[in-house]
Structure 1
Amino acid sequence: MRRSCLVLLGAAFATSITLAVEAQTTLRFAHTQPTSDTHHAAAVHMAEQVARATNGQIRITIHPAGELGNDPAVLEGVRLGTLDLGQTGNPFYTRFEPKLNALDIPFLFASHDHVYRVVDGDVGRGLLAELEKHRMKGLAFWEIGFRKITNSRRPIVTPADLQGLKIRTTPNPAHVEAFRLWGANPTPMAFTEVYLALETRAVDGQENPLNIIRSNRFQEVQRHLSFTDHAYTVSIVSMNLAKFRALPEAHQKALVDAAREAAAYQRRLNREQEGQDLATIKAAGVEVVERVDTEAFRRLALEPVKAAFVAQHGAALIDAILALR
């Protein structure tokens, strides 16, 4: 009898260990930014918040710097379920959901506050919901920021200065068309290929916010930076929809809440670091042009690019964004 009890207790103990192990879920989170970028800091923050909210039942492992593939590969992995979570810029999501192109129209956003009112409110929630058609659960909008142009050839003050320059852009149609209108030769490519393309002069320049330029060391291979602020870009954190729905509701909520809280955390980091980012870029010998003829850029691109979007998707979404200025 004593032996039987011990066997039963042992079996019960083993079963409890098995159940405890099974109760722990590990999710892989992939992105393409280096660990020195605020996107990585936000991902770490999100993982910590989720672990705390779920009492350790969900663990997120973070795979930065293209470790699990470039931006298109990350999104394809999330869609197919070979990756659990991914983060990349909005322009890569527009391949699946063209309505998101609205967020990349040049000069559409007046300020950071205008952006946040849009993406944190009903408009943003509606756009994230569109991703469910593509087997992704949109969790939150993070921040890439207002884009600036760097190049190795000459200072950019007016659109005429871009004439003939080969500029790496995102694959977003709004970005590509804007640079075509400004006289450049837009060249979309995966972000993980940009540094080498700049270093070898396969392209003359690129366009990104200060934090991305600094964290990816573009100042090492570029000579000029211009504050064009020609478009604002969000990044999106998404999860495989089937895996999200398979989780208990409390865990689903923990993921959404943590992703949104990490968005606010990352935005604070970006504002705090802007001055140091610019100082680092200048210290590398980059010539900085802060007074750019942005009105000339706006005149050439805003209305044509906006009209192209409206022709395909109607004016309602653009009107809703402009109403929140």
Structure 2
Amino acid sequence: MKKKMYLLITSLVLLSLLLVGCGGGNKSTNNQNEASDTTKTNTGAVTIKIGHVEPEDRSTHKTLLDFKKNVEEQTNGDIIVEIYPNASLGGDVQLTESVAMGTLDVALPSSSVLTTYAEDFGILDMPYLFKNSESAFNALDGDVGKYFDEKLADQGMHNLGYTYNGPRSTTTNNKPIEKPEDLKGVKVRVMESPIFIDYYKTLGANPTPMSFNELYTGLQQGTVDAQENPPSLIFANKFFEVQEYLSVDEHVHNFLAFVMNKAKFESLTPEQQEIITAEGKKCVESQRKMELEDNEVAIEKLETEGGLVVNRLSEEQKNEFKEALKPMYDKYREQFGAELFEMCEKYNK
């Protein structure tokens, strides 16, 4: 009797363990399915990789962070934006090539680099082409921008807008630049751009192409007497330590194109394209505003903290420079076409 009772109890215990085991197995399966669903959602997201050469403290990167946040929120995570600053994926030339080839999704190269894809992008480097930043913004948001957008589309790039790299101004080590004659004989560091070289040659200066990372040493050692860049970049790179004067001449309003691989853009759903387009526009607008504010702060800091003697050119003084540049304008009017110049110049009225 005892033996039968023992066998009965043992059977009941084994049955209980078996039922618990089955229940545990069902719970484990459910968890795996939930994990699988989550993985599937993440895997299905579209990743957009953005490369640029600016440091994190510049307006370009700051506003791209907002672009990332807004796009990811509005698409409920169906689009993930990754940003690679500081030329970590290459310089402007390499980044643009990568976007055109489709190995990178988005880049923000200087318009000067885009002459490789359409020679007449060079007109945007013409000194005193636009009388101020507002005229330049209106042109790039208007038919001038549309004209160049079509050129980029032909090269496999969809443009989301033109961010602002600031108004380029001049620093010198021995005298301020107030009139064209002041540049005669001055050794000025320039980018390796035919237009920038022609600009200074026309005014009697000695333009010296030099890479940006060698510029501080070049100024320090006297290889060059002067350089030109947006004030925010001049302050960030401490050129005030090896220069004496800042002439706010704003000779070129420099832009960065917000280019996306065309095939990648077209692969998005219509709703996603709308979001990218709208947020790209917002990014451009906020970046320009921030850059203009940063520019004014930088000019003040260059004077108060950097100790530079600052002079701002009046509109009349800028017109003197443009008058002295007529031979250069005649040359490039023939090269780029009078129609394109007229398209730009109408925004100065």
TM-score range, shorter chain: 0.7 to 0.9
Question: Is the contact between residue 149 and residue 227 of structure 1 (CA under 8 Å) also seen in structure 2?
Answer: yes
In structure 2, the partner of 1:228 is 249
**Which residue of 69, 77, 90 corresponds with 1:56?**
77
Displacement, 1:174? 2.7
In structure 1, the partner of 2:141 is 120
In structure 1, the partner of 2:263 is 242
Segment drifting more, 156-165 vs 314-323: 156-165
Amino acid corresponding to residue 284 of structure 1 in structure 2 = G
Amino acid corresponding to residue 25 of structure 1 in structure 2 = V
Q: Distance in 2 between matches of 1:252 and 1:193?
A: 41
Segment drifting more, 152-161 vs 312-321: 152-161
**Which residue of 99, 121, 129 corresponds with 1:108?**
129
In structure 1, the partner of 2:205 is 184
Q: 1:34 to 1:205 in 2, by over 3 A?
A: farther
TM-superposition CA deviations, 1:74-114 (whole Å, max 9, x none): 22222233322111321111222112222222212122221
Amino acid corresponding to residue 340 of structure 2 in structure 1 = L
**Which residue of 278, 291, 296 corresponds with 2:299?**
278
What is the TM-score with the length of structure 2 in the denominator?
A: 0.82
**Which residue of 296, 301, 306 corresponds with 2:320?**
296
Question: Is the contact between residue 144 and residue 232 of structure 1 (CA under 8 Å) also seen in structure 2?
Answer: yes
Displacement, 1:18? 4.0
Question: Is the contact between residue 165 and residue 185 of structure 1 (CA under 8 Å) also seen in structure 2?
Answer: yes
In structure 2, the partner of 1:324 is 347
1:79 is aligned to 2:100: yes
**Which residue of 142, 147, 159 corresponds with 2:168?**
147
SS of structure 1 residue aligned to 2:54: coil
Amino acid corresponding to residue 33 of structure 1 in structure 2 = E
**Contiguous gaps of at least 5 residues in structure 2:** 1-21
Question: Is the contact between residue 27 and residue 84 of structure 1 (CA under 8 Å) also seen in structure 2?
Answer: yes
Summarize the alignment of residues 140-219 of structure 1 with structure 2, pairs less than 5 Å apart: 140-219=161-240
**Which residue of 24, 28, 32 corresponds with 2:45?**
24
Question: Is the contact between residue 31 and residue 65 of structure 1 (CA under 8 Å) also seen in structure 2?
Answer: yes
Segment drifting more, 175-184 vs 239-248: 239-248
In structure 2, the partner of 1:287 is 309
**Contiguous gaps of at least 5 residues in structure 1:** none
Displacement, 1:238? 1.0
CA RMSD of aligned residues (A): 2.7
- Structure with the largest fraction of helix: 2
Q: Distance in 2 between matches of 1:73 and 1:116?
A: 26
Segment drifting more, 15-24 vs 133-142: 15-24
**Which residue of 89, 93, 99 corresponds with 2:110?**
89
Question: Is the contact between residue 71 and residue 79 of structure 2 (CA under 8 Å) also seen in structure 1?
Answer: yes
Segment drifting more, 177-186 vs 309-318: 309-318
SS of structure 1 residue aligned to 2:300: helix
Q: 1:196 to 1:77 in 2, by over 3 A?
A: farther
Q: 1:165 to 1:96 in 2, by over 3 A?
A: farther
Q: 1:107 to 1:75 in 2, by over 3 A?
A: same
1:69 is aligned to 2:90: yes
The structure, 1 or 2, with the larger RCO (C-alpha pairs under 8 Å, 6+ apart) is 1
